[in-house]
Structure 1
């Protein structure tokens, strides 16, 4: 078997990685579960096993809107409702993988089902 640090960069996904990541990923909602704006997934990549972190915004264009505007308040209220999302995580580990060129990570991606407020 190839040394895990020597895995070449490859854009790929395997259904089994979803299951592996579901057992090892750490998921947090920011700023908190009561009013989430961002889902942060961290943990080992199921392909290369290096630590990676992925942020998934729940509120699109949040930085472009003044929090006092009606549209911004509606978007934040919608994000804070109990919900769920399929989050596609792409390995962003800091390890230098062969054939990565300018890319970070090993190229693997997997999907986690995240629920909040339920």
Structure 2
């Protein structure tokens, strides 16, 4: 049985959009996307012919940067803000996962203590 050929479209990191498609979706000029590539904000996939291909995740980052630029931040600051926001979101996710693991471990410990107490 073959895998679903459209499955990759659900992957937010799968590069499916051309530069012109990405620019149109974002309402920006292609030069803006090229500037994000040359400054290291985005690293679009390159087709075998060397054309940039963008993923949904990359467009989300570009839109966030565009919003910060529109607020008056220089590109370097916008890039740092986006990176710090992403780092914070990741740290919060890690902390939530650690709390969940702690709670499971406590529940297992408490169950083991009850079992020991009941068999004493």
Shorter-chain TM-score range: under 0.3
TM-score of the two chains, using structure 1 as the length reference: 0.24
Rg bigger for which structure? 2
Higher relative CO (Cα under 8 Å, sequence separation at least 6) belongs to 1
TM-score of the two chains, using structure 2 as the length reference: 0.24
